[in-house]
Structure 1
């Protein structure tokens, strides 16, 4: 059957210290591989309130309780409270994930800053932000990162070029269907292979078309039943690692029952002959259930 790569986005300090250890235990118990992508600088989650004017944002947060999943204190970081430095405070937690046998990589330096400002700035800004994150990663782990997954799927050509310059070998910054090599308008490769998130996330599904916490796992499992196509599933330490852990455990059991292999992004990359990958542009598009524009694989 297929490989399903489990990509864990870790956005906040709370998600790092509470959600990550819980996910490591659950995935180890299930015999699942996976990749953990860390936010390595300050937690400024509270500043996300400025997204309230973005089309679809309030509708999305009303479906999945932000307070319930993130906590009141987290929603004050960067506004009423100083943002804790995740990489400094939780270096031991991060290393424990690697020591447990999971792939580790970079999500961002400052999640809200990257998600809200990347598309408003130039190539130098993108490279500086990524360099801060990769330097902190090297300080924590003693080695440079090889995998990158952009915060909020905010990504563009400038960021792809920065990945290549900073030594990233494989990335999952986009939404789409199949792995591809990102190229510019002239067809020249500008970044490492992209392995897009292919499956919807829990917060994109819950509350839509009668999908609830109780049946969302079955909805996703129907999408992966009987397929031999590799998939990438993005989960969040703040959701599956906490209140939605029972949903994730049902997914793990269901995927194993379907015969799929649960792997890391690195495993997916190692099994791919990049010489055969199609070349595609990175575009800005929409994804059902998520607000704003995201980096998507340009359709053929």
Structure 2
């Protein structure tokens, strides 16, 4: 078999910004002394006059982004997820969310796949934090194709958007002519009848891998890619669970407040069903190679397969 192409979604972010910058003069990119890591340096090299390095001052950066948005321009404020959602939460809430300004937050290095940077930088709480802000759209793309499409869609919509990107190179799974990205709409990747796997971000590839292994054992798993956590596509989830009767959620994030919690909220209201949540179980991460950490915490294809098999059985 040919080797699967792998690209980190933080690279996709940088490339998408540069592409959009050629098309739109009102796009401005801000960074907090991390242009090389967040890949906004790609944009900076081509459009230095529209790139602002705010230094190691993420809270201030969000305030500047809010001011720029108030002038009618479209700012993308970039930093690690731990700083963009964690350190700058109050500014995001009060300066961007409350006035519903057109600021896009590009949060890279999310989840435990940050690897050797350790628990202090492995943000597994950002989706939960951003979900609590009224009017905030949250997008967690699964691969390069989806990440680029998400950046473009974020630019084209009006209102605050939180975009979540990863450091680890992940398989490109949406490289097909039928792929269509739409904010708030999940993507049915594989049909099944015994269980539904709802995955987001890095775990989408693992969910597809798990579905293949389950199929070999006679378990038919439906796989849904939820790239937009908020607003959530309740229709695709409800329709699937009415067919399969049970759901497993998979995310590189805490099981508290993330995709799993959003799906449970949806099912409680529309179609009560058994749910198994795969993610970080109320623990901090730790330093180590990204692949080994995903394996240890059961977030890779094998881990998802084992969890789903046990849940179904």
Point out which structure has higher relative CO (alpha carbons under 8 A, 6+ apart): 1
Q: Shared fold by TM > 0.5?
A: no
Name the TM-score, length of structure 2 as normaliser.
0.33
